[in-house]
Amino acid sequence: MSRPVLVLVGPMGVGKSTVGALLAERLDSGYRDTDEDIVTAEGRTIAEIFVEEGEDAFRALEKAAVHRALGAHDGVLALGGGAILDADTRALLAGHRVVYLSMDVEEAVKRTGLNAARPLLAVNPRKQWRELMEARRHLYESVATAVVATDGRTPEEVTQAALDALELKEA
Ligand code: S3P
């Protein structure tokens, strides 16, 4: 059984994949993303799964994908933005090094805008963001061993801040 060198959580569009890939490079490890695992296994996009089966079905797939990856991947692992909604997943994360990449709502709206590939933001993105972060902020914080703010920072700066926060030595 493997365990990830670190797990990235945070809202969609915060840069988990970009920063995750940079962290993996710096740590000379692999990079894995549970959204990609789901898309590969299902042969459908996340948006298609939401539309065809609804959010609950997607969350069940996501929970299974996260649990599998936490026990099978030894590199950097990025979780979909809503993975922390599940209490079992949060409990499982307790034994891991978890970095919460945060951003404020205005930055979020600017970065994601109206993005059809992100079904949760399809209508009125600013209001959706505010509600989403009100519901989730404490959950992200509850699983995090380090919180790294991304506002106004380049992906390289965020990567360095995450390494510093965790005091991880590069490979
Ligand atoms: C979601 C985030 C998305 C994806 C799905 C739902 C969420 O992942 O899992 O659209 O609930 O925040 P990213 O955070 O990788 O965009």
Asked if the structure places residue 1 within a domain, the reply is no
- Which domain, by its residues, includes 120? 6-166
The confidence score (pLDDT) of residue 115 equals 56
Ligand 1 centre from 114 Cα, in Å?
14
Q: Whose CA is nearest to atom 11 of ligand 1?
A: 82
Whether residue 124 has pLDDT greater than 60: yes
15 lines ligand 1 (CB under 6 A): no
Residue 137 forms part of a structural domain:
yes
Cβ-contact 156, 18 below 8 angstroms = no
Ligand 1 neighbour 118 (Cβ under 6 A) = yes
Instruction: Report the percentage of the chain scoring pLDDT > 90.
Output: 77
The answer to whether residue 171 is domain-embedded is no
Q: Determine the distance separating the centroid of ligand 1 and the alpha carbon of 1, expressed in angstroms.
A: 26
User: Can you give the pTM of this predicted structure?
Assistant: 0.92
> What CA–CA distances, in Å, run from 11 to 67, 83, 98?
19, 10, 14
For atom 12 of ligand 1, the residue with the nearest CA is: 81
Residue 49 has pLDDT above 80, yes or no: yes
Residue nearest to atom 10 of ligand 1 (CA): 118
In b/e form, how buried is each residue of 3-29, taking b as 16+ CB within 10 angstroms?
Answer: ebbbbbbbbbbbbbebbbbbbbebbeb
For residue 125, is it within any domain? yes
Give the CATH number for residue 38: 3.40.50.300
Q: Is 46's C-beta closer than 6 angstroms to any atom of ligand 1?
A: yes
Mean pLDDT for the chain overall:
91
DSSP for residue 152: T
Ligand 1 center to residue 79 CA distance, Å? 8
Position 93 scores a pLDDT of: 97
- Structural domain contains residue 73: yes
Q: Which atom of ligand 1 is nearest to the CA of 14?
A: 14
Task: Categorize the per-residue pLDDT at 118 as very low, low, confident or very high, splitting at 50, 70 and 90.
Answer: low
CA of 34 to the centre of ligand 1 (A): 10
Give the pLDDT confidence score for residue 126 in this predicted structure.
82
Distance of CA 110 to the CA centre of its chain: 18
**pLDDT value at position 8?**
98
* Domain count of the fold of the chain: 1
